[in-house]
Amino acid sequence: MSRQKVLDLLKKSQNMYLSGEEIATQLGLSRTAVWKAVDALRKEGYVIEARTSMGYCLTAAPDALTEKEIRSFLRSTQIMGREMHCLDTVDSTNTYLKRLSLAGAADGTVAVADSQTGGRGRMQRPFQSPPGKSISLSALLRPKLPPARLLPITALCAVAVCTAIERVCGVRPGIKWTNDLVLNGKKLCGILTEMAVEGETEQLQYLVVGIGINVLQQPEDFADGVGEIATSLAIELGRPVSRPQLAAAEIEELDRLYDALKRGDTDDYLTLYRRDCVTLGKTVQLIAPDGSRRTAEALDVDEEFGLVVREADGIETVVRFGEVSVRGMYGYLD
């Protein structure tokens, strides 16, 4: 606890030196406790300079997805992230939270992993998340709402993640319907939502939202041709991005979204989704489960986040499930 208090104070000082006596007085600690906290923080990778007659100054922090680092950026939330599990490696943060849900994990529990060995997206496609490069974050939700009210959750989360990235990075991604975030025509982030409903009562058991963001990858980090369709924030911005700061912003925006969802007040999210959706106005291919394709024009997103399209015969329909390929994106050039 002393380490976290000292770390928070040093971060708030914004590269100014604080004497050991000043830190001890502000935090109600002994000088010895302050020294021990600084020594422990240094061992964890924090660069803390000490100068005679000046005191201590935090000059660098590790880009670590630890609870200490994430909470140092995290502001107060209503529910999201009050219980947090930070993992070095896991098969999948979604799978991890589903296991915790069966053991009674609380609403708003968050799992964050530095890397995943079995990350996946829609249609069971693998999602690469090498150590030290990305953020794999999942949130467990237990809203007292009918499952039908939760069907747009993936699209709603896409807007929340766009806002989190914009807050931290100053750039807002686009959304490829329905669950991919893109920058400059390449995939930056994927979102996977999984829900369990009790068969007889049709009551929601749990809802898990998983978000994978490419943050620090360079082109050589993408294997097997993935670099042709994927990108990272570091590539697009030309500079590194703090993963713990971005993870904290994600948690805050998910908390804000969750509150709006429970209140039934998500109109602003639909407005932003329509604005950010790069699919609209494009010629797309509708890909059926058997692999057959139909060409259509993407016109709009309806109030339930379905994609309104006009097919070749002029008939307008709404796509709610399945794959949609956008001309010029992800290798589709026909």
Q: Which residues contact 270 (CB under 8 A, 6 or more apart)?
A: 301, 303, 305
**CB atoms inside a 10 Å sphere around CB 64:** 18
- The enclosing H or E element of 233 equals helix 233-237
- Span 139-180, pLDDT tens digits: 999 999 998 899 999 999 999 999 999 999 999 999 999 889
Look at residue 178 in the predicted model and tell me its pLDDT.
Answer: 86
The 8-class DSSP code of residue 170 comes to: S
Residue-range domains of the chain with CATH:
2-60 (1.10.10.10), 67-276 (3.30.930.10), 283-326 (2.30.30.100)
**Which neighbouring-strand residues pair with 310?**
297, 316
Mean pLDDT score across all residues of the chain: 90
d(CA 31, CA 266): 50
Model-level pTM? 0.86
Q: Is the pLDDT of residue 327 over 80?
A: no
Closest CA to 270 of 283, 259, 281, 257: 257
pLDDT-derived band at 213, boundaries 50, 70, 90: very high
Q: Which residues contact 318 (CB under 8 A, 6 or more apart)?
A: 302, 306, 307, 308, 309
pLDDT-derived band at 332, boundaries 50, 70, 90: very low
